[in-house]
Amino acid sequence: MDQLTINASSGCNIINGVVTIDHTKDFAVEFEDLKASLDNCPPADVDMQVLIALEETMYCRKKNDNETELLNRDNQVVMVLKRISTKQLK
């Protein structure tokens, strides 16, 4: 199993944690030890929804060239990660 780190931003808060990839299982990925800065940013529930979705993630699958779905243990999509260009960040 590989352990990597996640450093992400919800637009306001910073999220850090560990990503574990289990190569013995197809598409198995887990986000663990997640911590967020928890600044008071509107809407506050978005940050919590992101953290919950990451914690529920057990698998991932490629939807298309620009999107990857994160799935829970029941194979339900909990989040979609979208690739964006640096131009879209501005």
User: What is the total count of domains within the chain?
Assistant: 1
Peptide bond into 42 cis (omega under 30): no
pLDDT tens digits for 13-39? 888 999 988 877 778 889 889 888 877
Report the C-alpha gap between 51 and 67 in whole angstroms: 19
pLDDT tens digits for 55-84? 999 999 989 999 999 999 999 999 998 887
pTM of the model: 0.75
- The average pLDDT across 47-51 equals 83
Question: Which structural domain range is residue 42 located in?
Answer: 2-89
In CATH, what number is assigned to the domain containing residue 71?
2.40.128.270
Structure tokens belonging to residue 13: 């808060």
